[in-house]
Structure formats: structure tokens, C-alpha cells
Chains A and B, each alone.
Chain A
Amino acid sequence: MSTVDVDIHTTTTVGSNADRTLLRRMLVFARPHVVALSFTLGLLTLNIGLGIAKPMIIKKVIDGPLKTAYKTRGTPEFDSSLLSHDVTLYALMFLGAAAMLSASLVLLEWIMNRTGQRVVFSIRNCVFHHILRLPVAWFDRHNVGWVVTRSTSDIDSLSELFTTGVATIAKDLLSIVVVISVLIWISPKLALVALVMLPVMILVTFRFRLNARMAYRATRHSLGKLNGFFQERLSGLDVVHLFRREQHSATQFAGLNECYYADNMVTVRHFSMFFPTVDTLSQLVKMGTLTWASWLIVQGELSLGSFVAFWFLLDFVFEPIRELAERYNVLQAAMAAGERIFGILDAPTEVGKVDIAKTISTVDSENEADGAPDPTVFQFRSAARGKSKAQHPDAFGPGFDSNSAHVTPAARAVESLFTDNAAAIEFDHVSFAYPVGDDVLSDVSFRIQKGQKVAVVGHTGAGKSTLVNLLCRFHETDRGTVRLGGQDVRSIPHQNLRRRIAIVQQDVFLFSQSILANIRMGNPDLSDERIAACAEAVNADRFIKTLPDLYNTKLLERGSNLSSGQRQLIAFARALAADPELLVLDEATSSVDSETEHWIEEATATLLEGRTSLVIAHRLSTVVRADSILVMHKGQVREVGTHEELLAAKGLYHRLYHLHLATTG
């Protein structure tokens, strides 16, 4: 749960060395927006200037025409035309300032958001881009929910920092300094009285900020516990019922709920204290100022207009202090989020550590292509780059554009992985173990020739799926070498390797998009007709034709609106459409009805036809038709041969065969 680690990270305070480094790293994302940011600062300055100008105009009106008129009223010197002339002039100035202020506010809000949102947009893309390129082993270690939180909520926390945070902090600081200067300029004596209380206000504000942050953290912590408990009791609701612990659970929940309430009440107390305190303090300042001002006015040391302006400007000092305290919290949350995000960006991808600045430029350069339909642009761009880069594998590795993304069938033939003189697949003394546990594969060696159909059989846990993981470089071997067409897989860029292999996994993963998109898998070269043909070849069109929107039917999450057999067939169509040189099929073990079973069997044959393939087989029909069978047991290849040969040998395969017969009755 994300609520837990929030607490751990927010303990750092802004201003420490680590935070400065972090801040500098985050600013990398803002670099492309320097112009907009400086424009923002300019606007902010203008904003402050206009804010000060308004009371100053009022001062002019009061001290100028109004004063004259007031003094001369009823006397012959009273000149109404001069009065109205002057007043109109000032009124227009005031209106002008007000209009400009409003306009600058609109512009400011717009530009700050535009810049901030774009920065966040780019960070989000960067993080997503990076995550998808992390090794499968990384995903094995991290909970998906946690990763999703990093790429969504954490980035939203950054959003406030980049939209309003930095700019407003600058504005607030600037505003305090400038306004104080103006106050001193208007009347140093009066300013002295007004500013005596300033340190007290700053003290109160920051003291509050500290308390509020601690209270807030406690609240987050108890909320995390409350949520954790809630989620668990709900997930284990049956267990709760079985042990008749409904009431007891509710009592425990009440305890946590009470705790959350109590922590909230601490926050409530701080807030209830803070606002009235600051309010009272600023009013006391105003009272003091007024008393002192009236004395000065009587003494003739201060004009009425100056006093009015002074009075208005005081708010321009008090407001920013309050604001700054708020901003500080935003900054804190953003720093905590930034830390976690950089934790992910620092994790090495499949090609090792990457420079984030480069990723930003990759992601940003793609921004241009955003207006047009993505896949086409994608193809165009990759075709253009494919030529120049084919000879020089990009140091950055298999990014979006490191190599031809989707090559035409002709191009594919040229770049074929397989040559006639080397084995298509070769495992050369390969050993592998997952981080925790014993060897899953120990010293496995075998060769598969081009065009061969090979079935892998063995008991659960024999190491069959690991073969696939190593072949596709989802994991790297610990010892030994895996070769494709005589080439060490480690020397082939991941994406190039995987584009030539189609994998059908046991547990089919479908996206919540249309069936068409699920078969196409982003390949723009595939026409709708070709997709339909593929679906027909693997018997998938039979059920697709019965769906309301045919190929455009939108699937639910993980394809849950299809049966497991139907999902299998879509996966077959997807693999066939990819037209791979090497097909890796992990047959599903879940039971389907006999009719679907028949269609799947037939489709499997179509799929394997004339293709080099490695099948983790569960169906007898697949095994029998294979050119060669690898029998795996406890991480080793125990037997190799055809069905007849192996049966005749009366070894492990023989027993597995009988086990299979026993299972299927």
C-alpha cells in the first residue's frame, strides 16, 4: 500500500543536501520550458506591481482632487470641472490597472498551468516509458498496485509543484520584500509599528506549519492503517464469517476509526487555532497602525491617502506569509513523490542504466507526432530511422526508435535470425535460478534445427516455462549461453529478438481494447482483412462473428467477457498475425468444452504449420505431431526423441504418457 511509504519519506526536511540534489534533478524536466517560466516570472512581477499600483492611485485621488474639493467645498475656489477632470483621469488609471491585473491573472493562471501540466505530462510519459523497459525480474519483485501509484498519484503530487508551487513561492517572497519596501517608503514611522509584529506572525505561521505537518503525517498513518484493515477484512470476509468475527472486526475497526478521528481532531485543533490567531494578530497590527496613524495625521506627518494605501497594502504582506506555509507542505509532498519516482527512474532497464535527459528528449520528440494517428507516424518515423541506425545499434538501447519498429515482410526476410548452417535454437550448458531458491535449470543443452517443431513435456516445476523466459530474455541465464541462429541472444537487442518470436502464454493476457487491437498488437502493417484472415485460420472468427460489434467488440479487463477457450483462440490469431520466425507456445491447461477443444487443436496445427516452434505441450495431439520431444525433469533434459522412439525406450516419457492417459481417462 502506498500510504505506508509516504510516512517513511516525508521525514526528510526540505533544505537538506539530498533534497537539493533531488530538486535539481526534478528541474531537469522543467528545462525545456525555460522561456515560459521566465515569462511567468515577468508576469508575476507585473502582477505585484499592479497590485501595489491600485492603492497608490487611491492615495492620489484622496490626497489630490478629493482633498482639494473637500477643503474648498462651499467656497468660490471649488472647481467642479477640475475635480471631475482629475478624478476621471485617476479613475481611468485605476480601471486600466485593474483591467491589466485581471488580464495578467488569466494569462498567469493559463501559462503556469500549461507549463506545469506539460512538465508533468512529460514526467509521466518518461516514467511510463521507463517502467515498460524494466526487466521482467523487476516486475516480479514489485506489486503492480505500487507501480501504478508511482506512475499516477505520485506524479499528480508533482503536478501542484510545477503548476503553482515554484512560481507562487517566488511571487510570495518577492511580494513580501517589495511591499515592505513600499510601506517604508510611504511612511517609515508607520511601517516600524506595523512590522514590529511581523516576526511574531512568521513565527506563529511556521510553528503552525510544523505542528500541522506532524499532525497531518499522523493522520495519514492512521488512515493507512484504517484502509489496510478495511481492505483485509473485506478480502477475507468469508473467513470473518466462518469464525463469526463480524462483531469483533467491527470493534477493531472502531478502534482504528477512533484513532483516525483523534488524529484528525489534532489537525482540527491546529487549524482552528491557526486561522483565528493569524487573523487576530493581523487585526491587532491594523489597530496599532490606526492608532499611530491617527496621531501622525493629526501631527500632519501623514496624509489621509497615504494611510488608506498603507492600510490596503498591509494585506499584501500578511497574505503571502500564510500562503508560504501552505506551499511548504505542497513542496514536502512533491519531494516525497519525487524521491519515489526517481527511485524507479534509477532502476536499470533491460539495457542497463539510462540517462533520464535522453529519455525526456525521446519522449518529447514524440510529442510532435501526437496530433497525427499514432501508429502511422510511428511506422513512418521508424522507417526513416531504420536505415541509418541499422548498422549502429543505438547506445541508448532499444528505445522506441532504436531500430526498425515494424518491418515489412520483405525486410524481415533480409534480417532473418536464422541461417542455414547454424541451429535455430541452441541451449548450451544453461543453468538458471530465480533470486530465491534452487536451480530451476541445471546444465541444460539442446539444439533445434530451423523448421523443426519441438514439444517440451515434463511434470509441473520441471523448468519448462523457464526455457521460454530465457529464450526471450525475460530473464538472463546464470551460466551457459542461449543462441538463436548461432547468435548469442544477449547480443541481440531485446525488441529485435522479440519481434521475431511470437509467444502464446498459458494464461492469455488480453487488453481492454477491441478484438482487432488485441490481435494487431500495434503493428500498423496489418490490415483489417489480414487480421480477419488470421482469426479465420485459427477458428476464432466463429465466435467473433456472433459478437455484437464483431471485430470491434471491446473486451473487458483481461478479456473477462470471453471464455478461456475464446481467449486462447484470440491469442493464436495474435501470434499468427505477427507472422514470427519462431513460435513459442505454452499450451493452456485449463479445461474447455469438447467442441472448443477441437477448434483449439485444429488451430494449433495451423499455427505450427511450416514454422520453427517450441511448444510446452499439454495436448497429446501436439506432442505426437512434433518433430522432436524434449522430456524435462527437475531442471534437466532427460530424454530427446520422437514419440515412437521415446515410447519404445520405456523411460520417463513412457510414464508421463501413461499418466496423461490416466488423467484424461
Chain B
Amino acid sequence: MKAGPFTRALSYFPAVRKRWLKGMLCIIPTSGLEFVLPLIVAHVVDGVRDGTMHTTGVIGWMVAAMGITLVKGAGKFGMRWYITGASREFERNYRQDYFHHLMQLTPRDVAQLRTGDLMSRSIADVEAVRMMLGPGLMYVSQAAIVVPSALVIMAIIDPTLTLVMLIPFIGLATIIRVVAGPTQHWSEATQERIAELSVVAQENFSGVRVVKAFATEGVSASIFRRMGRSLLEANMRLATIRGVSSAAITAIKDFGALIILLVGGWHVVQGILSVGDLLLFFMILNLALWPLIAIGWMIGMYHRAKAGARRLDEVFDLTPSVQQSEMPVQHDAFRGELEARHLSFGWDELPTIQDITFKVPPGGTLGITGRTGCGKTTLVQLLARLVDPPPGTVFVDGHDIRDLPLDQLREHVGVVPQDTFLFSETVAQNIAFAGEHIDVDRVREVAELAKVHDDIMGFKNGYDELLGERGVTLSGGQRQRTAIARGLAADPPVIILDDCLSAVDSVTEQAILRTLRETLAGRTAVIVSHRVSALSLADEVLVMDEGRIVERGTHDNLVQRGGLYASLAERQRLEAEIEAL
């Protein structure tokens, strides 16, 4: 089957079909009852005029009419409640799957899309599709019943008048068609110009120091003003279109009323039409014209929904670059041996990592160092399978990590990443991020290991303190130590520390390293660091440059050799000396 623009969106429809159909069932009687009232009114007016109907008759009819009004009110409630409700449920499921899908993707997979963009798809685009399937279809269905019925009823009563009445109907339909295109064009233009304006604002506020340094506030303001003016123009175009079309719609309604008055009046005089039926025509005119206007909205809704569904499909169509092997190897007794064999890897054809080979025995510690941009972080991502290494290059306990079940791999290979991202939750929740099995005592234990416990006790709410905008802001060092605690909490047999002490002051660093030495005993560890003090814990240190291993050996060994590592050590000794002055 060929996938249309709404194929995926519609796959969420069956789940809400029942609810939606209930609403649709409400539409039919409500739309029909719309005509009952005008018919009663016409009947009563004629009856009173002819003198065939007296007070009791009138009251009887009116009581019936009021009853029908109440029923119709209930029907209208049901129609909105069920259909809008169904559309909201649809929206919820659609968005849920969207998020679920996003969670499977890696940051590299969505690199071309900014977070703000992905977010607006989750809200605005899902909403656009919902609007079409909910209120959109509701109005269209109503129109589909009301307009033809109105024409039939009118034709039965007075065919000639009905024929003349087609003029305003056709006129209205024409206007709606004509206006739809420009309206869409200019509302898109308005949206674009608003976006441009916020880009200019964003840029000037971010670069405010440059703006101030060159004293170009005036120039920036005039650029901003010019863009504001172009937005104003687009808005005015839109306003003009809206003004003209609403005036045209009013004019057409009035024209319709005039036709009824003249032609209908003439027919009354001739005795073809009763006074009550004349009134009926007036009432039906109002009843039947607005669904046509609603169709105008529906056209816009449809286009927005189509664009929204397409944008959502763009994300749904991305396949996660890291996926569990179809036939994963079952491996239960983890020893914690980590090995890389001739590992080479590149982003976009450019080699970032070349021919890396090492083997860390269970319980061993490997140090990795090198300048910024030497490929350390990429190597860590490959070892943790955040990025897929080529087959047959990275092994845990002799198994290619690509063959291991992802859950198992992640459970056994823990990483404290360089980017210490913490969530706006409590400190305890952040540390226990790895799972519910981490209890309060464990949280406290690892916080002490990472030397962040005292900081946490200094917060007003201790471990229950919220992090982020509505809570405390942690210093760089505190963030790193919290992230270390989070990494340790899961207690993985293999742990990779990716430059995770860079923002910690040297005294605290020494303290953490002392405890880490104990904690890491019996655990396989990879320590990526710029600090010689951290690397000295390792059994073997790899020095990387431009993606290759340029030196390897023990700390003492490398210092004696007098290469890159030795100069790093020398530099840090001097730095410490200067710092102490």
C-alpha cells in the first residue's frame, strides 16, 4: 500500500474510533433537529395568522419546541464532547509514540533537528492533525448534512425562490475558494517573519557585547525595525483579506435576505408562499450559510494537518543508529574484560579514530589522555556503544558488543560522561537515575564516595532539593561530583570516567581519587583525563593524538620517556606551583 500523507496518523484512529463514532451519531439528529424549530415557528405563525390556531395550540407547539431545543442542546454537547474527546485521545497517543520513538534515537540521529523544532512538532504539529480529525471533520459532517437538507426543504416549499437562493450560496462558496489561497500564503508569511524577528532578537541579545563594543545598537535597532515593518505589512495583507472576505460574507447574507424579502414577499402576495414559510426561509438562510464558512476553515486546517503529518513522519522515519542485534548473545557471568581490536572510526568519512587496540583485564584500569579533539570522547562513545563501532572491533568478555543485548551491555558498562547533564528533579532522583532499585542508603553512600554529600546536606532540602531553574544551581564541580555519584550508584562492573573531574578543584580531586581507588578495586575502569594525577591510578595509559595512540605505558614509564605525556606532567607541575604562589 502506498503511504499517503496521513497513513501513519490514521493508524492511531482505530483506538478512538468508538468514541468518535458516538459523536458522529450525535451529529445526525442534532443537524436534523436544527430544521424542526424553524418548521414549527412557520407552522405556528401561519396558524395564528389564519386563525386556525389558538392560544392552547400555540403553547402546545412551543412546549414541544422547547423540548426539542433541550434535546438538540444535549446532542450538541454529545457531539462536541465525544468528537473533541476522541481527538484529544488521538493526540495523546500520537504524541506518546512520537516521544517513545525519539527516545530510541541517538543525539547523532537527530543532530540536524534542533530541540525547539522537535518540541514544536510534538505540540503544534500533532495539534494540527488533531484539529483536522476532530473539530474539522465535525464541522464538515455538519455542513454535509445541513446544507443539502436546507436546499431540499427550501425546494419543496418554493422551488423558484430556492433556485434564486442558489446565487448567494454559490457566491459564498466562490469567495471561500478565492480567499483560501492568499490567506494561507500570508499567514505563512506572517509566521516566517515572526520567526525571522526572533532570530534577529536572539542573535543580538546573545551577541550583546559585540553590539555594545561597536556601539551599533542603533544599526541593530534599525534592522529589527525594518523586519518589524515587513511583519506589519504581512499582517496588514492578512487583515485586508480578512476584512474584505468578512464584508463579502456579510454582503452575501444581506443579499440573500433581500432576495427572500423581494421574491418571497412577491410570492406571499401571490399566495404561493405563506408568511410563516417566508420566515422559515430567513431562518434557514442563517442556518445553512455558516457551515459553508466552516468549510473555509477546514481547507486551512487540512493544509496545516498535512504539513504537520509530514513533519512528524520525518522524525518517525529516522531509524535508530544503535539497535539491538536481532539474535543477541546471552551472556550472564560478566567478568569485565574490555578490549578494542584495530578500532577505526570516522564521522562523515573523516577518520576520527584510527587503529586503536588495547585490552583491559577484569579489574584492570586503563588511562586515556590527549589534547582536546584527539578523539577521546569518540572512543568513549564507541566503547559504550552510544555510537556503533564497526563489527569485530570492541569486545566485552570476548563478545562483540554489537552482539550483546543492549540492556545487558548498558547495565554492565557504566559511563560518567564528560557532559554532566542533570535533570530538573531532586538530587536523590538524579543520583538514583539508573533505576528504582537504588534506595536512599545507596544514594547517600555513593554521594559520600563522590564527595558531594556535604554539599547536598548544605542545601535547604538536602537530597530532596530540586535541581535546575526552580531549585538550586550547582557549580561545575558539584555537577561533576553528582554525575559521578549517579554513575557509581548503578554499580557497573565496567566503568568509564570521561574527563569527569575537570571542574573539580585539586584538593577535592585528590580526595575523590583516593576513594575511587578503593571503589574501583575489583572493577574494570577506563579513566579519560587531562590530569596526570588521575591517570597515575591506571595500570596502562594511552596517549592519543589525532585519533591515534602515540604513546602507551605506565605513568612512570611515560614520564621517563619524555614525550607528550611527560610534557603534560611537567606542565601540570608548573601550574600547581604557580597556583600555590
Contacts and interface: CB of A to CB of B under 8 A. Distances in A.
A238 B105 CA distance: 10
Most chain A beta carbons < 10 A, residue from B106, B107, B270: B107
Most chain A beta carbons < 10 A, residue from B81, B96, B103, B214: B214
Interface stretch (B191-199, B335-343, B449-457): B191-199
B564 A665 contact: yes
A110 to B, nearest CB: 5
Interface stretch (B177-185, B236-244, B458-466, B534-542): B236-244
B355 interface: no
A655 B254 contact: no
Most chain B beta carbons < 10 A, residue from A268, A304, A557: A268
A469 B282 CA distance: 75
Contacts of A665: 564, 567
Contacts of B221: 125, 128-129, 132, 363, 366, 400
Contact of B247 (A105, A129, A271, A662): A105
B41 interface: yes
Most chain B beta carbons < 10 A, residue from A258, A363, A374, A557: A374
B440 interface: no
B561 to A, nearest CB: 14
Contact of A66 (B62, B219, B255, B265): B265
B interface, size bucket: 35 or more
Secondary structure class of chain B's binding surface, majority of residues: helix
B119 A231 contact: yes
B228 A136 contact: no
Secondary structure class of chain A's binding surface, majority of residues: helix
A345 to B, nearest CB: 15
Given A253-B99, A498-B214, A283 B69 contact: yes
B334 interface: no
A370 B229 contact: yes
A118 B232 contact: yes
B551 to A, nearest CB: 13
Contact of A509 (B210, B225, B275, B279): B210
Contact of A294 (B44, B262, B271): B44
Given A105-B246, A378-B219, A522-B218, A659 B578 contact: yes
Given A246-B104, A509-B207, A522-B218, A152 B198 contact: yes
Nearest to B55: A295
Interface string A616-639: 000000000000000001000000
B165 to A, nearest CB: 16
A459 B211 contact: no
Interface string A254-285: 10011011001100110111011101100110
B512 interface: no
Contacts of A243: 410, 433-435, 486, 490
A265 B85 contact: yes
B74 interface: yes
A563 interface: no
A77 to B, nearest CB: 13
Given A101-B250, A280-B69, A294 B76 contact: no
B222 A152 contact: no
B581 interface: yes
Contacts of B236: 110, 113-114, 117
A662 B212 contact: no
B119 A230 contact: yes
Nearest to A571: B210
Interface stretch (B149-157, B295-303, B359-367, B412-420): B412-420
Contacts of B223: 374
Contacts of B10: none
A522 B224 CA distance: 13
B73 A277 contact: yes
Most chain A beta carbons < 10 A, residue from B204, B254, B265: B265
A257 B262 contact: no
B66 A287 contact: yes
A70 B210 contact: no
B532 to A, nearest CB: 12
Contacts of B248: 102
B43 to A, nearest CB: 11
Nearest to A651: B581
A28 interface: no
Nearest to A662: B571
A241 B41 contact: no
Contact of B88 (A242, A261, A400, A505): A261
A227 B69 contact: no
B76 A658 contact: no
B215 A495 contact: yes
A294 B95 contact: no
A276 B79 CA distance: 10
Contacts of B69: 280, 283-284, 287
B327 interface: no
Given A132-B211, A276-B73, A522-B218, A102 B201 contact: no
Interface stretch (A87-95, A181-189, A420-428): A87-95
A105 B248 CA distance: 9
Contact of A131 (B66, B205, B423): B205
A503 B73 CA distance: 70
A121 B226 CA distance: 10
A66 B247 contact: no
Contacts of B91: 261
Contacts of A587: none
Interface in A471-519: 472, 474, 494-495, 498-499, 501-503, 505, 509, 511-512
B571 A659 contact: yes
Nearest to B72: A280
A283 B37 contact: yes
Given A1-B469, A131-B205, A243-B410, A230 B99 contact: yes
B515 interface: no
B504 interface: no
B107 A125 contact: no
B386 interface: yes
B45 interface: yes
B240 A374 contact: no
B213 A501 contact: yes
A559 to B, nearest CB: 10
Interface in B530-580: 564, 567, 570-571, 574-575, 577-579
Given A144-B206, A271-B80, 5 more contacts: A98-B254, A231-B115, A233-B99, A245-B435, A591-B371
12 contacts: A98-B250, A121-B229, A132-B221, A243-B435, A276-B77, A290-B45, A378-B222, A505-B213, A511-B207, A512-B203, A591-B372, A659-B574
Interface of A: 1, 4, 54, 58, 61-62, 66, 69-70, 73, 83, 87, 91, 94-95, 98-99, 101-103, 105-110, 112-114, 117-118, 121, 124-125, 128-129, 131-133, 136, 139, 144-145, 147-148, 151-152, 156, 163, 223, 227-228, 230-250, 253-254, 257-258, 260-261, 264-265, 268-269, 271-273, 275-277, 279-280, 283-284, 287-288, 290-291, 294-295, 297-298, 304, 308, 311-312, 363, 366-367, 370, 374-375, 378, 400, 405, 459, 472, 474, 494-495, 498-499, 501-503, 505, 509, 511-512, 521-522, 557-558, 574, 578, 591, 633, 652, 655-656, 658-659, 662-663, 665
The 6 closest A-B pairs by CB, nearest first: A109-B243, A522-B219, A113-B239, A280-B73, A98-B254, A272-B80
